Structure 1
Amino acid sequence: MSLYNEILIAKHFRNSVFKNSAVFIITLFIGVLLLYATFSGWENYNNQNQTSEKYQHESREDWLNNPDKNPHRMAHYGNFAFRKSTSLSVFEFGMEPFFGNAIFLEAHKQNSANFSEAGFSNSMLRFGEISIAMVLQILLPLLIFFLGFNAVAAERENGTLKLLLSQGISWKELLLGKFFGIASVTMLLYIPTIIVLILVWLFLQNFTISLDETIKMILFIGFHLIYLLFFCTIAVLISASSKTSKKALISLIGIWLIFTIILPRGTQALGAYIYEAPSKIQFNSDIEKDILKQGDSHNPNDVYYKAIKDSLLRVYKVDSVQKLPFNYSGFIMTEGEKISSKIYNKHLETLLQVYAKQNSFSRATSFVNPYIAMKNLSMALSNTDYDSYIDFQNQAEKYRYEMAQKMNALQIKYISNIKPKDTDKPLIINKNHWAEVGEFHYQPKGILEVLKNEIVSIFSIILWIFLLFLLIRIAAKNLKAI
């Protein structure tokens, strides 16, 4: 199929666009914002990862340099888990500024992530940081609407539309030509941005890339391209169906406000209202109540743990815990850790189900709002979404539980049941045992898991593509010159 007419229309549109000085100013402004966003993302990435590496190293050194002591004291001394940013988080900050990147890990207690950037920032962070993804997803569509609002409507107003159609140009050729014209102007910003993005991404990884990260990068670029072309199509269709440029501009600004401002915030608030989550105080209070109902492992007279002691004495046929062939306190701490972790995980699972319903409600609206679909995909590919935060919490909790149980196992094996006298040496073990607990390293989610979690967003984007093709075909058959 020849595209001669479409290309001719696209060239004419592009040339006419740049006769308007306002286009140069707006394009330059967005270009400056993209440069600033790149610099800001680079700086945030380096600062966060350098800080994480520094304190992860210091935390590890502090753990290993602890002197000889009782393993139970080491379990309460605790450790830290830090999360490093992925390379794509340079371009998509997502929820990272509001999530903590460090968790204090200790026995018998599960802590949430702390030290978020928002906690150390002023109120301006509430308005969002300027990232490349934010510019591509919010500001560039606004520029596209500004470029395309009069693409066809202006032709109708000045009478050239009837002339074009009378010369043999079909509506399909006209719509595609205008679409190519808007897209070509948009690519003048998008392509340089992608080139810079790839170079920065390669440099951050010292030009050593994995297949997983490469696929994420390709999808990040590809989905944003589809997203921008979607707005180019909307601009042409609204302009073609509007009698005047003014009506087209008002309609497009309204669509932009609904897609990028009203629906995202409205659906989040509505989802939180429909599926209400307990407060942090209530969550922690419920856990404490259930643990106290089950028993207190630190209370020797607790009914539940006294029953365990009596059963152990019967099995080993001794009359006191001092005569058991293993450390009784370590055994009780092991049991207490199992119980407290099980109770916490039960409550956490219930809470996460509420959050999952809230997120599912928000994801479902991607079928009526492509911005939400694009935002969710962008954050997921950059590992800056809610699921990545929960994944970090889960990995840290697994490490914490294994650390606590390792200390309990050392206590069971090496610490005597007989309490030392004032003149005796304290019950301690050699500090070399601390190295038996490995260092924590957070592993971001792989591409398959990311795509699985965002299958709704992917389907919604595919649906939007088919819908737009359908709308173009319908418009080409039904639009009128007047």
Structure 2
Amino acid sequence: MRIHIIRLISIQLWKQSLQNKAVIVLLMILSLLFVFAAYTGWQDYKVQEDTRVKHQVDVRHQWENKPDKHPHRMAHYGYLIFRARYPLSFFDYGLERYMGNSVFLEAHKQNTVNFSEAGFSSGMLRFGEVSTAMILQTLIPLFIFFLGFSCISAERENNTLKVLISQGVRWKELLAGKILGLLCLVGLVFVPVMLLSAVMWFSLTGFKGTVDEFLRLFWIAGAYLIYFFIVCSVCVMVSAVSKTSRSSLVKLIGLWLLFIVIIPRTAQAFGAYLHPAPSKIDFDTKVENELVKTGDSHNPNDSYYKGIKDSLLQAHHVKTVEELPFNYSGYIMAEGEKISSGIYNRQWQKQLDIYENQNSINRSLAFVNPFQAVKDLSTALTGSDFNSYIYYQEQVEAYRYQLAQLMNKLQMENISNKKQQENDKPYTISKDHWKELPDFQYRFIGQRALFQNEIASVLSLLVWALGLLFILHFMSKTIKIN
């Protein structure tokens, strides 16, 4: 192919489009939408993160300044964790509004992450929010279709297509020039958006962004570039095979509705139908029923834990729990925590398997629908996807278990086995021990695990891009002028 011919065709499309006042108006509207979405996302992240840090500091201060107490009382007093957002989540909200913002941690019980913004919002939230990613995924394809629906069909209608071909322009060069011209027009909006996003990300991190965050922003830009190439190629191909511009526009609007509205909604409903998930009440009931079978660690006469007591007495060659070298109640609480956590984790894994089966429907359709692929990859890279939420819950549960077992360990080591009399002062330990619990540090999911989870999305975009290149090559040999 001759590069200078491709460049001339792309420049001609560029100039022709920018001479249209409607295109200029659309560019201005899109620019305003992007500025609005970027600012609201930046402001929302900043407010929430400032609030989270403030409350987390208050919680830690209250925990460390609790008076001398019995360790088991502190285990039930609990700890409050506020979910941190990934700095790039201002770009793509993903599931942010539905994830919940705080979780209360206590012994023997796994609480859910509560106070999601969706729970306090009206039903309008289901229609989506204006985020930078939403505009790029849904409105930019419409903009491309508006620009390119007649890029070749109009040439055919005006009989200028025959002139171009008769003058020696090859179909490959014509198709490539039109695609390049559309991509350059999209770049008028996309490049400033990515630069603005980079500036906002850097400001949100206090100008201390990490390499991981920079690489994620780079991958986001790359994913959307491939996505726009796919959309531009489809637009040019449809225009090339359509006899009239009207039929080209109808086909493109139909494809937009199919890929962006119909297929994603249908896939969600189909996944929930094939793999129904139990409600929270059903899940809690299953956990409770299994816990009942293992006994009650708070009941000294429970038959299951009585067996543990007998084996302890035999192992230490003593006759009563008062003679044990550690606090017997603390040991039983630690065993009870280990058992209850194991039961909860097994049931939770079954729940996750159901969600995984539901999500697999969407992931499999990513090979059919590039919109689904770029959407999943975008939310994953901005830390606002389902896998990031599960990763957070796993860390929270590990921290809750650490808290409970630390309190049980303190009870075993510092509380006497001697039974208290009626007028005895309650057993307590120094509040200095509360500082032994490290503060919760959330680790965001790493890029290796991220791309392993989203391998289908990455492959889908690459397969679509390479497949379209092959189809364009084939079309250039078979397409007709009339």
Matched to 1:122, the amino acid is S
Deviation track 1:222-266 (CA, whole Å, cap 9, x = no partner) reads 111111111111110000011111111011011111111111111
Query: 1:441: which partner in 2?
Result: 441
- Distance in 1, Cα, partners of 2:418 & 2:86: 51
* Structure 1 SS opposite 2:103: strand
The aligned counterpart of 1:169 is 169
1:114 is displaced (CA, Å) by 1.0
Deviations 1:253-292 (A, max 9, x none): 1111111111111111111111221111111100000000
Query: Is the CA contact (8 Å cut-off) linking 2:229 and 2:465 kept in structure 1?
Result: no
Matches within 5 A, 1:279-298: 279-298=279-298
TM-score (norm 2): 0.98
Deviations 1:301-329 (A, max 9, x none): 21101111222233334333233222111
* Aligned residue in 2 for 1:184: 184
- Of 18-27 and 92-101, the range deviating more from structure 2: 18-27
Name 1:19's counterpart in structure 2. Answer: 19
1:340 aligns with 2:335: no
Once superposed, which parts of structure 1, at least 4 consecutive aligned residues long, lie more than 6 Å away?
Answer: none
Structure 1 vs Structure 2: percent identity of aligned residues? Answer: 48
Q: More displaced, 305-314 or 224-233? A: 305-314
**1:77 corresponds to:** 77
**1:39 is matched with which residue?**
39
Please report the TM-score for the alignment, with normalisation by the length of structure 1: 0.98
Secondary structure of residue in 2 paired with 1:266: helix
What residue is the counterpart of 2:239 in the other structure? 239
Shift of 1:174: 1.0
* Contact 1:82–1:442 (CA under 8 A) maintained in structure 2: no
Aligned to 2:324: 324
Q: Which moved more, 1:388-397 or 1:8-17?
A: 8-17
The answer to whether 1:91 aligns with 2:97 is: no
Distance 1:174 1:391 in 2: 48
3-state SS of paired residue (2:254): helix
1:19 deviation in Å? 2.6
Matches within 5 A, 1:197-212: 197-212=197-212
Amino acid at match of 2:183: A
Distance in structure 2 (CA, Å) of the matches to 1:450 and 1:154: 44
Structure 2 residue aligned with 1:113: 113
- Whether the 8 Å CA contact 2:153–2:243 is kept in 1: the answer is yes
> What one-letter code is carried by the residue in structure 1 that aligns with 2:388?
S
Contact 2:2 2:173 in 1 (8 A): no
- Residue pair 2:13, 2:178 contacting (<8 A) in 1 also: yes
| Aligned positions of 1:125-144 closer than 5 A | 125-144=125-144
Name the SS of the counterpart of 1:367 in structure 2: coil
Q: Which shifted more, 333-342 or 158-167?
A: 158-167
Q: Aligned partners of 2:177 and 2:451: how far apart in 1?
A: 34
* Cα distance, 1:50 vs structure 2: 1.0
The residue type paired with residue 144 of structure 1 is I
Tell me if the contact between 1:74 and 1:407 (Cα under 8 Å) persists in the aligned partners. Answer: yes
Q: Secondary structure at the match of 2:104?
A: strand
Structure 2: how far apart are the matches of 1:44 and 1:259? 30
How far apart are residue 115 of structure 1 and its match? 1.4
Counterpart AA for 1:30 = L
1:423 to partner: Cα distance: 2.5
Give the alignment of 1:384-403 within 5 angstroms.
384-403=384-403
Amino acid at match of 1:164: L
Measured in 2, the distance between the counterparts of 1:47 and 1:122 equals 21
Q: Which residue does the alignment assign to 1:300?
A: 300
2:59 matched to which residue of 1? 59
Aligned partners of 1:69 and 1:430 also within 8 Å: yes
Contact 2:287/2:344, CA 8 A, preserved across alignment: yes
CA distance in 2, matches of 1:161, 1:332: 85
**Kept after mapping to 2: 8 A contact 1:93/1:379:** yes
Unaligned runs of 5+ in 2: none
Give the root-mean-square deviation of aligned CA atoms: 1.2
Q: Answer whether contact 1:215 1:447 (CA < 8 A) is retained.
A: no
- d(CA) in 2 for partners of 1:177, 1:314: 85
